Amino acid sequence: MPQFLNTQDADFETQFTALLGAKREDSPDVDAVVAEIIADVRARGDAAVLELTAQFDRLELTPETLRFSEAEIDAFCAEVSDEERAALELAAERIRAYHSRQMPSDDSWADANGATLGWRWSPVSAAGLYVPGGLASYPSSVLMNAIPAKVAGVERLAIVVPTPDGIANPLVLLAARLAGVDEIYRIGGAQAVAALAYGTDTIAPVDKITGPGNAFVAAAKRRVFGKVGIDMIAGPSEILVIADKDNNPDWIALDLLSQAEHDESAQSILITDDNGFGKAVAQAVEKRLETLERRAIAGASWRDFGAVITVDDLDQAAALSNRIAPEHLELCVADPDALSDKITHAGAIFLGQFTPEAIGDYVGGPNHVLPTARSARFSSGLSVMDFLKRTTLSKMTLESLRAIGPAAATLAKSESLEAHGLSVLARLEALNQK
Amino acid sequence: MPQFLNTQDADFETQFTALLGAKREDSPDVDAVVAEIIADVRARGDAAVLELTAQFDRLELTPETLRFSEAEIDAFCAEVSDEERAALELAAERIRAYHSRQMPSDDSWADANGATLGWRWSPVSAAGLYVPGGLASYPSSVLMNAIPAKVAGVERLAIVVPTPDGIANPLVLLAARLAGVDEIYRIGGAQAVAALAYGTDTIAPVDKITGPGNAFVAAAKRRVFGKVGIDMIAGPSEILVIADKDNNPDWIALDLLSQAEHDESAQSILITDDNGFGKAVAQAVEKRLETLERRAIAGASWRDFGAVITVDDLDQAAALSNRIAPEHLELCVADPDALSDKITHAGAIFLGQFTPEAIGDYVGGPNHVLPTARSARFSSGLSVMDFLKRTTLSKMTLESLRAIGPAAATLAKSESLEAHGLSVLARLEALNQK
């Protein structure tokens, strides 16, 4: 059974704080191993990548077979059923449409003194996307990472995906093709991250690496950060559902379980203003857990980290939600828009009872790579912005340099940076002599 | 003397690659010490902060005197000269005007099936800004960090600034006041970063920490990342000037020196299409180095990391610049706008000979916190975006769930996530029975 909390309880604050602070993940310390792997790939390039792939994935490759050929990709794509292809195409189309609207605008204007100011956005030249192999090899994540990169205008997009024992997921390859990925390499682990960051004879280096991975991949991303850009290091998934009593308990139970089934460290929380409804949902969860395919995982997550919180009213629900800063937030209430206006920190909000979070995982359009572990307090989900950077632009005229140059020289002097000041003053002197 | 390179030289590529890869900074490994300090502050809060401040800053404080009082700030602000105050006010006004234009828009629209999609931006609730003490205590950096936070709508903005031996910089306090900072604490080092991230009895925790600092501060920011957001970890400053022969060599020399005087690890590079002009600039640098206040620092930087590169034409200059991806780029050429269009990676561009980079450090308007060490390939300068986060919004109707729900269920099945599929199918079944 999950925890049951009630804001009426005397020790609610203590319990809620404990829930907020619950440590859900013990990452193994693989940093030393990863450092060695990265150093090896930097030193020996392809040779190291091939040896490590043979060792970890039991797969013998050559520089020529590191990359999937177009013919191989064709063959894998042909294995995908029409139904699955149509679903992936619908998802790709909706994700592309949503992310296209995120493209920011350049700007340029003249100030009162005639100086031109502005900025310009430009895409990262080359990006690499890590796609896990095996069970957690999700074609939906390929779309969610690759499409924003291509919408942003990334010219070269490479995927690395391990194929343990040579087994590839045809849906992952089709998703990559639909998203417009340029290169697909059948490698994984820290060695793949190192190859993307530093390059080998076969794999050109990229400027940014995104995508989920295990502890080795996460440690490798942290280590190459600075040499290349990385996206967030995602923790286990979370959902918070705020639901009033006018909901079907089974629907809400399934929404909670759709996070819980990801991972034993996932967390599903229900906040309701009706104690009886909370109990009904908990019962519905238990019933579904009797038959759910991934009941071992989902059951452990729900038992260890699940919670049902009863509040006095929805304002209290919003306040608690803002302290949780959930990755996913469902608002299954009569007026979800009004409640949404009170939410200050959340990765993604799903409004109304006809918007199960799973829609957002696949076909809604918004990204499913979202800030976990309360980081929605200060960060956002993946977007086209992750594949763009902004260059600021300034162009002074004679008049504007005369108008604001002296202030710059004054501040430079205050900061004891003489050359800064002289670079302005030398120009002003020469101009004043004209 | 700096390095002289010429694209006509047979070994140019080797020399240029070496220049690109030059390691300019040896950060001392202070991670173990920093880990101890953070653990101490987490465990003992104010008591640890006070002890460490006594130890490192030779300053005895109490919980009551950790924070500058309004009366103290008033007294320090009164020490600032009218000229300096006016310069700071002009800078603040221009920085505020520029960053106000950066505020991104919310969006919301209905798709073809009637689903409502969109996103909403919201500010980080509380941010902390690290301001170094001593020589590198720059009031301009206070403005550059604090104003974007306040423009973004950050409700609570706290500054930590060490005051070794009790000595404070009045301009830093005035800059904080002009920027609308809410709290100023006279502490620094890793202990100040830990206090901001985890909170103490006196200092409430923040959600995001920005601002420059020494190796201890940088290591502490890396360690608290995840618990809070951080900005980039800045490396030593760099400038690239692309200049044709129709420039005053002394002006260009001063621009190069205004980076070099920051730090012995700073880097100043000139690219010119006129070999003679390059030599003239190098001579002008030597002449200025005879008298410059910070000639020891600037001279070392110019000697160890400076370079003058002669190219055949400006297209070649743009191509090399894009490989360097400079933090600051000056375009002192006849048509700077045309050359700017060829630049794909740069933190900030200063167009034309009347826009010395020092203008951008103080009063131009754009931010002076910019990506160093070639990271302009994948990242941007500080902006209001660093203090905002985006929540995505989805609201399905019955019709839209019917239209796209089955595809979500198909993909969930492909990914073996049964509860994901059931959360959609259960709703569709119930609706179909209606």
CB < 8 Å to A360, chain B: 392, 394
**Chain B residues inside the 8 Å CB shell of A100:** none
Q: Which of B103, B294, B422 to mutate to test the interface with A (most CBs of A within 10 A)?
A: B422
pLDDT at B134: 72
pLDDT value for B306: 97
- Establish whether B130 is an annotated binding residue: yes
Query: Is residue A262 a known part of a binding site?
Result: yes
The catalytic residues of A are: 327-328
3-state secondary structure of A184: strand
Residues 6+ apart with CB under 8 A from B264: B297, B300, B301, B304
Phi-psi group of A207: left, alpha or beta (phi > 0 → left; psi -120 to 50 → alpha; rest → beta):
alpha
Give the chain A residue nearest B95 (alpha carbons).
Answer: A117
Q: What is the pLDDT of residue B131?
A: 94
Q: Do A122 and B350 touch (CB under 8 A)?
A: no
Where does residue A164 rank: exposed (0-12), middle (13-18), buried (19+ CB within 10 A)?
Answer: middle
CA distance A337 to chain B (A): 9
Closest partner CB to B254 (pick from A228, A292, A426): A426
Q: Which stretches of chain B score pLDDT less than 70?
A: 135, 434
Nearest CA in chain A to B327: A391
CB nearest to B411's CB, from A355, A362, A408: A362
Q: Do B390 and A397 touch (CB under 8 A)?
A: no
Q: What is the ipTM of this complex?
A: 0.96
What's the maximum distance between 2 C-alpha atoms anywhere in chain A? Answer: 89
CA distance A69 to chain B (A): 24
Residues on chain B touching A135 (C-beta within 8 angstroms): 416
Nearest to A117 among B109, B366, B378 (CB): B366
Contact B268, B370 (CB under 8 A): no
| CA distances (Å), origin A316, targets A281, B196, B361 | 20, 27, 46
Residue matched to tokens 């550059």: B144
Shortest CB distance from A258 goes to which of B111, B343, B420? B420
**Which of A98, A377, A410 is opposite residue B87, by nearest beta carbon?**
A410
What architecture is domain A3-22+235-378? 3-Layer(aba) Sandwich (3.40)
Tens digits of residue pLDDT in A333-356? 999 999 999 999 999 999 999 999
Q: Is A99 annotated as a binding residue?
A: no
pLDDT grade for A135, boundaries at 50, 70 and 90: low
Minimal-distance CA residue of chain A relative to B340: A393
Closest by CA to A370, choosing from A212, A195, A136, A255, is A212
Question: Could you tell me if B187 and B49 are in contact, meaning their C-beta atoms sit under 8 angstroms apart?
Answer: yes
Contacts of B357 in chain A (CB under 8 A): 423
Residue A362 is labelled as binding a ligand = no
Residue B28 is predicted with a pLDDT of 76
Identity (one letter) of the amino acid at B430? A
Residue of A420, A428, A429 to mutate, interface with B, max B Cβ within 10 Å: A420
Nearest-Cα distance to chain A for B266, in Å, is 14
Instruction: Look at A358 and B412 and tell me if their CB atoms are within 8 Å.
Output: yes
Q: Which residue of A has its CA nearest to B112?
A: A94
Dist CA A119 CA A106 (whole Å): 6
Lowest mean pLDDT among A62-71, A175-184, B134-143, B382-391: B134-143
Our CA-based measurement puts residue A134 at a distance from the nearest CA of chain B, in whole angstroms, of: 11
Q: How many CA atoms lie within 13 A of A410 on its CB side?
A: 19
* A348·B135 Cβ contact <8 A: no
Distance between alpha carbon A246 and the CA centroid of its chain, in Å? 33
Residue B345 is assigned to a ligand binding site: no
- Given a contact cutoff of 8 angstroms between Cβ atoms, the answer to whether A174 and A74 are in contact is no
Residues in chain B within 8 Å Cβ distance of A251:
423, 426-427, 430
Which pair of tokens denotes residue B167?
A: 């000595």
Whether A25 shows a pLDDT value over 80: the answer reads no
State the distance between the two ends of chain A, measured CA to CA, in whole angstroms.
84
Backbone angle region of A348, left / alpha / beta, with phi > 0 → left and psi within -120 to 50 → alpha: beta
- For CATH 3.40.50.1980, the residue range(s) in chain A are 3-22+235-378, 45-230
Residues of B marked active site are found at: 327-328
Q: Which residues contact B100 (CB under 8 A, 6 or more apart)?
A: B151
Kindly determine whether residue A250 and residue B426, on different chains, have CB atoms separated by under 8 Å. Answer: yes
pLDDT of residue A434: 65
| β-bridge partners, A229 | A208
Is A405 in Cβ contact with B359 (below 8 Å)?
A: yes
pLDDT in the model for residue B234? 80
- Asked whether B250 and B284 are in contact (CB, 8 A), the reply is yes
Which residues in chain B touch residue A208, judged by CB atoms under 8 angstroms apart?
Answer: 378
Q: Which residues contact A272 (CB under 8 A, 6 or more apart)?
A: A242, A243, A244, A245, A278, A281, A308, A309, A310, A311, A317
Question: Chain B residues with CB inside 8 Å of A109's CB?
Answer: 101
Q: In this structure, are residues B230 and B220 in contact, taking their beta carbons and an 8 Å threshold? A: no
Residue B74: C-alpha distances to residues A213, A313, B78, B89, B182 (Å): 52, 45, 6, 16, 14
CATH label, B45-230, candidates 3.40.50.1980, 3.40.50.720, 2.40.50.40, 3.40.50.2300: 3.40.50.1980
Collect all residues of chain A within an 8 Å Cβ-Cβ radius of residue B86: 407, 410
Tokens 């030779």, residue located: B58
Q: Return d(Cα B360, Cα B248) in angstroms, integer.
A: 20
- How far does the CA of residue B251 sit from the closest CA of chain A (Å)? 6
- How far apart are alpha carbons B245 and B279 in whole angstroms? 11
* Inter-chain CB proximity A411 and B84 less than 8 Å: yes
Q: Are A350 and A251 in contact (CB under 8 A)?
A: no
- Number of A–B residue contacts, CB under 8 Å: 366
Please write down the HEC assignment for all residues of A209-265.
EECCCCHHHHHHHHHHECCEEECCCCCCCEEEEEECCCCCHHHHHHHHHHHHCCCCC
Is B214 annotated to bind a ligand? Reply is: yes
What pLDDT score was predicted for residue B315?
Answer: 98
Is A169 in contact with A12 (CB distance < 8 Å)? no
Question: Tokens for A83?
Answer: 């139904």
Q: For residue A422, which residues of chain B lie inside 8 Å, CB to CB? A: 254, 257-258, 288
Strand A126-130 relative to strand A116-123, pairing: unpaired
How far is residue A207's CA from residue B361's CA, in Å, rounded to a whole number? 27
Comparing A238 with B431, the larger pLDDT belongs to A238
CA atoms of A75 and B73, how far apart (whole Å):
71
> Could you give phi then psi for residue A73, rounded to 5 degrees?
-60, -45
Region A49-64 average pLDDT: 96
Calculate how close chain B gets to A117, using CA atoms only, in Å.
Answer: 8
The CA dihedral of A284, A288, A290, A296, to the nearest 10 degrees, is -110
Question: Which three-class secondary structure state does DSSP give residue B112?
Answer: coil
Which among B232, B424, B432 is the top mutation candidate for probing chain A, defined by the most A β-carbons within 10 Å of its own β-carbon? Answer: B424
Tokens of residue A211, six digits: 């995508």
Contacts of B288 (CB under 8 A, 6+ apart): A419, A422, B250, B253, B254, B257
Q: How many residues does chain B have?
A: 434
Is A361 annotated to bind a ligand? Reply is: yes
Determine the pLDDT at residue B22.
Answer: 85
